[in-house]
Amino acid sequence: MLVLTRRVGESLVIGDDVVVTVLEVRADGVRLGIDAPRSVRVHRSEVLEAVRLENARAVEADDAAADALRGLLPTPRSEGEGTGA
């Protein structure tokens, strides 16, 4: 991890086209401005993690629903079953 010290109004550049600028420093946090092309996705990590967890829960619910529906379907016969052979 790269650790940098920046003051209000100072920036850092990531790659060729992402600029992060310190806008304000308060006792409870730091406000950052991020200038990036629209093609670059920028997310707060806690929001991204919450979305990932919710997606995982949705998949689990879908799996449970699919299992419940499978239980309602008749089981397929195996070959030779019911032929009187």
Distance in angstroms between the alpha carbons of the first and the last residue of the chain: 72
Does residue 3 belong to any structural domain of this protein?
no
Question: Looking at the structure, do residues 31 and 46 belong to the same domain, yes or no?
Answer: no
Does residue 79 belong to any structural domain of this protein?
no
Are 9 and 22 in contact by the 8 Å Cβ rule? The answer is yes
Are 32 and 42 in contact by the 8 Å Cβ rule? The answer is no
Does residue 13 belong to any structural domain of this protein?
yes
* Gap between the Cα atoms of 4 and 12, Å rounded: 9
Predicted pLDDT at 81: 62
For the record, the structure tokens of 30 come out as 């730091």
pTM for this prediction: 0.62
Helix (H) or strand (E) holding 78: none
**Where in the sequence is the domain holding 19, given as residue range(s)?**
8-38
Per-residue pLDDT tens digits for 1-50: 999 999 999 999 999 999 999 999 999 999 999 999 999 999 999 999 99
Does residue 16 belong to any structural domain of this protein?
yes
